[in-house]
């Protein structure tokens, strides 16, 4: 007769096996779709660039060194070069501005939607998400149509006699800001709305009741309560903005490069895949550090539901 | 500041509040006028949808009246936003700020009024002591119990020393025992602070035990304003009599009116003395109410006669339901003693005698 101990042991073993089998799909996806590709990028960043793109399987740290340094073509010495660093900085600055702008425009929009009667809200949300269904490239070209020298904005201003010469907006940071703010606005509005919708508006009334004027209610009651949405929205906008590729390419031109374009360059004309890989990994590292700092900074005074 | 007793703190004059437009228009308040005295514990009592909360929100300033005036110490406050009214509210579910501690919640109003930090701190400490919450001042509001949240909500509303404190069903979320405790606590706070309390409730017992005066509301109107004693013993309308406590309704012919009193001839033929509601218009069949505890059951002949239909024992007293010969029902409440039963059994033929000061003639 099998001892009770034996039966228990078998059952336990079976359970362990089942657990692995059941989690296999998740593990496979995590490895194939997330960890695996990332490992390839890490490996590539330590290889030598091939003459026509691709890589040669020879270990090299040049990819990483090139992120911040430049090898002199004559005497082969390494010297600090800020070309990439300035693009990093520029990207971070523009992404930060995009985040601020989407927050400024998105906050009132989300508040407006959240304060509509429940039945109307879906319609407003639907309107916000419509641009998502249009191809990003098309939307970006549409903006180009508005702000180019012969575009709608300049034509109207000239017709109205406000300006006599078209204002050069294309291929400037302004064009980039308009484009990125427009493209990323829904990503800010939706999480903001999600946390505003949960606000108990009696808290707003309580604020008014306790002598807070509209601005004080906004600052002391609404914003702290919407903080999770502000954090989520800022992350959702800042990260893709940092790696933005299409918008800076179309609206910013070749001079106003952002990180995404720089990385693309290495895999295309630059034929330097290891550098491209190293740059992407640096971008990831920056995002992670920025995220950690941000969450710690805004979370310090304790989240609304902490 | 010496206050004249009986001066009105809040005066509501001909206030209407209409929600919606066109066909779907609803008058939540239909030309309501009431005067609330200083230092008074005033209760707005009525079933849900009667307009009591609407009236409270108009006084607080969360909504604006469609017509009429609301005076605070003689000054019309109806057009002022809530943050410019020296009136504070205790909300039904407390509406404490979840992102602040207990102390921060209590200090919020004072801070918004721009009081110096030291003063805010001192006042918060005083308030914490008043509601016995000193030990929990640094807790988040999500970390304290319902009864404690209730105290914090009270302290928060009292801290800025409002002229009038509005309480919107503040006890409805508490369990029975805690509710009884808070009723006493509220009375104590009102007494200690000397602030006018306007209390909204649908609980008639709560209204009777706590209030100096009660306004009974129904369908956007105030039906009667009076002391708990007035409201209970001298209801003006059927709704008031029915909503508060248990009552027997009888049909009677009224004669000999004068000095607020009259003679009421019941269907049984007996004639009893009755007080008459204000605004009573003489008519053939008036309604007379008699509270169950103001009538007495006898085995002999009384003002009414009938058959005992049911006997319900309640511990402190016994309710005896009698089917009158005129086919109406009548309930008599009889105080219990330890030694004996109620002295009657189902099917007994009984008489009911109504005391000299037991009946009230309604105006509707």
**Where do the domains of chain B lie?**
8-233, 246-361
pLDDT at B3 over 70: no
Distance of CA A280 to the CA centre of its chain: 14
B106, B156 in Cβ contact below 8 A? Answer: yes
Local confidence band at B337 (pLDDT 50, 70, 90 cut-offs): confident
Q: Which residues of chain B make contact with A200, given a CB cutoff of 8 A?
A: 93, 95
> Residue A225 and residue B82: Cβ atoms within 8 Å?
no
The mean of the pLDDT values for chain B is 90
> Residue B95 and residue A221: Cβ atoms within 8 Å?
no
Picking from A210, A228, A298 by the largest number of B CB atoms within 10 A of its own CB, the best residue to mutate is A210
Say if A300 is an interface residue toward chain B (CB within 8 Å): no
- Written in H, E and C, the secondary structure of chain A is CCCHHHHHHHHHHHHHHHHHHHHHHHHHHHHHHHHHHHHHHHHHHCCEECECECEECCCCCHHHHHHHEEECCCCCCEEECCHHHHHHHHHHHHHHHHHHHHHHHHHHHHHHHHCCCHHHHHHHHHHHHHHHHCCHHHHHHHHHHHHCCCCHHHHHHHHCCCCCCCCCCCCCHHHHHHHHHHHHHHHHHHHHHHHHHCCCHHHHHHHHHCCCCHHHHHHHHHHHHHHHHHHHHHHHHHHHHHCCCHHHHHHHCCCCCCHHHHHHHHHCCCCCHHHHHHHHHHHHHHHHHHHHHHHHHHHCCCCCCC
Q: What percent of chain B has pLDDT above 70?
A: 98
Say if B235 is an interface residue toward chain A (CB within 8 Å): no
pLDDT one-digit tens code per residue, A211-239? 999 999 999 999 999 998 999 999 999 99
User: CA A306 → CA A93, A204, B19, distances in Å?
Assistant: 31, 20, 39
**For residues A216 and A222, what is the distance between their CA atoms, to the nearest angstrom?**
9
Say if B20 is an interface residue toward chain A (CB within 8 Å): no
pLDDT at A1: 56
What is the reported pTM?
Answer: 0.81
Residue with tokens 């369990």: B175
Q: Which residues 205-234 on chain A approach chain B with CB closer than 8 angstroms?
A: 205-213, 216, 220-221, 224-225, 227
Picking from A198, A204, A211 by the largest number of B CB atoms within 10 A of its own CB, the best residue to mutate is A211
* H or E stretch at B41: strand B41-45
Domain B246-361 class? mainly beta
Closest CA to B282 of B303, B309, B240, B253: B253
Among partner residues B82, B113, B142, which is closest to A209 by beta-carbon distance?
B82
R_g of chain A computed on alpha carbons = 26
**For residues A126 and A122, what is the distance between their CA atoms, to the nearest angstrom?**
6
Note the ipTM here.
Answer: 0.84
CATH fourth-level superfamily of B8-233: P-loop containing nucleotide triphosphate hydrolases (3.40.50.300)
Say if A8 is an interface residue toward chain B (CB within 8 Å): no
Say if B66 is an interface residue toward chain A (CB within 8 Å): no
Tokens of B182: 């808070």
pLDDT one-digit tens code per residue, B171-221? 888 888 888 888 988 999 899 889 999 999 999 999 999 999 999 999 999
**For residues B247 and B290, what is the distance between their CA atoms, to the nearest angstrom?**
6
Tokens of B139: 């807790």
pLDDT one-digit tens code per residue, B138-153? 999 989 998 899 999 9
Q: Which residues of chain B make contact with A216, given a CB cutoff of 8 A?
A: 112
> Residue A221 and residue B81: Cβ atoms within 8 Å?
no
Domains and CATH numbers, chain A: 83-299 (1.10.3720.10)
Q: Which residues 176-205 on chain A approach chain B with CB closer than 8 angstroms?
A: 200, 202-203, 205
Mean pLDDT of the region A274-289: 91
Tokens of B253: 């012919």
Span of A101-105, A134-138, A277-281 with lowest mean pLDDT:
A134-138
Q: Which residues of chain B make contact with A203, given a CB cutoff of 8 A?
A: 95, 97-98
């Amino acid at each position: 007769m099998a001892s009770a101990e034996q039966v228990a042991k078998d059952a336990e073993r079976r359970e362990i096996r089942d657990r692995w089998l059941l989690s296999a799909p998740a593990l496979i996806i995590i490895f194939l779709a997330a960890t695996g590709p990332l490992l390839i990028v890490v490996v590539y960043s330590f290889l030598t660039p091939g003459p026509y793109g691709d890589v040669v399987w020879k270990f090299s740290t040049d990819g990483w060194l090139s992120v911040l340094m430049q090898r002199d073509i004559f005497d082969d010495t390494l010297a600090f070069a800020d070309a990439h660093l300035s693009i990093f900085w520029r990207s971070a600055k523009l992404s930060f501005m995009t985040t601020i702008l989407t927050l400024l425009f998105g906050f009132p929009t989300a508040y407006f939607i959240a304060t509509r009667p429940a039945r109307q809200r879906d319609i407003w949300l639907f309107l916000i998400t419509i641009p998502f269904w249009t191809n990003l490239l098309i939307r970006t070209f549409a903006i180009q149509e508005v702000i180019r020298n012969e575009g709608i904005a300049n034509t109207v201003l000239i017709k109205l006699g406000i300006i006599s010469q078209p204002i050069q907006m294309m291929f400037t940071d302004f064009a980039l800001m308009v484009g990125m703010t427009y493209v990323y606005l829904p990503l800010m509005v939706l999480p903001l709305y999600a946390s505003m919708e949960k606000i108990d508006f009696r808290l707003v009334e309580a604020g008014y009741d306790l002598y807070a004027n509209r601005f004080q209610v906004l600052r002391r009651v609404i914003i702290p309560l919407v903080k999770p949405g502000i954090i989520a929205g800022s992350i959702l906008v800042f990260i893709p903005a940092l790696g933005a590729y299409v918008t800076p390419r179309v609206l910013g031109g070749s001079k106003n490069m952002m990180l995404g374009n720089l990385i693309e360059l290495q895999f295309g004309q630059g034929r330097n895949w290891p550098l491209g890989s190293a740059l992407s990994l640096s971008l990831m590292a920056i995002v992670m550090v920025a995220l950690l700092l941000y969450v710690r900074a805004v979370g310090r005074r304790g989240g609304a539901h902490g | 500041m010496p206050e004249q007793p009986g001066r009105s703190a809040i005066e509501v004059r001909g206030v209407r509040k209409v929600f919606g437009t066109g066909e779907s228009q609803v008058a939540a308040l239909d030309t309501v006028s009431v005067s609330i005295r200083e230092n008074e514990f005033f209760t707005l009592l009525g079933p849900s949808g009667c307009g009591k909360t609407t009236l409270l929100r108009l006084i607080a300033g969360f909504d604006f009246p469609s017509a009429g005036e609301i005076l605070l110490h003689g000054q019309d406050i109806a057009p002022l936003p809530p943050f410019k009214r020296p009136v504070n509210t205790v909300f039904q579910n407390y509406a404490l700020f979840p992102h602040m501690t207990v102390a921060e919640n209590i200090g919020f109003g004072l801070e918004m009024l721009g009081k110096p930090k030291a003063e805010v701190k001192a006042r918060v400490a005083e308030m914490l002591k008043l509601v016995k919450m000193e030990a929990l001042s640094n807790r988040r509001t999500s970390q304290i119990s319902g009864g404690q949240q209730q105290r914090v909500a009270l302290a928060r509303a009292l801290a800025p020393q409002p002229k009038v404190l509005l309480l919107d069903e503040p006890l409805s979320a508490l369990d029975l025992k805690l509710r009884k405790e808070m009723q006493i606590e509220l009375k104590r706070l009102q007494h200690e602070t000397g602030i006018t309390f306007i209390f909204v409730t649908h609980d008639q017992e709560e209204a009777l035990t706590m209030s100096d005066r009660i306004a009974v509301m129904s369908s956007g109107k105030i039906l009667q304003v009076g002391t708990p004693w007035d409201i209970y013993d001298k209801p003006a309308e059927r709704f008031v009599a029915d909503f508060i406590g248990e009552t027997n309704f009888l049909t009677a012919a009224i004669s000999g009116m004068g000095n607020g009193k009259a003679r009421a001839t019941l269907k049984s033929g007996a004639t009893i003395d009755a007080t008459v509601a204000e605004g009573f218009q003489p008519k053939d069949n008036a309604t007379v109410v008699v509270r169950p505890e103001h009538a007495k059951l006898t085995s002999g002949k009384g003002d009414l006669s009938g058959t005992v239909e049911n006997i319900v024992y309640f511990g402190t007293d016994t309710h005896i339901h009698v089917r009158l010969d005129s086919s109406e029902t009548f309930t008599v409440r009889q105080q219990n003693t330890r030694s004996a039963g109620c002295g009657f059994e189902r099917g007994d033929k009984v008489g009911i005698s109504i005391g000299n000061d037991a009946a009230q003639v309604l105006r509707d």
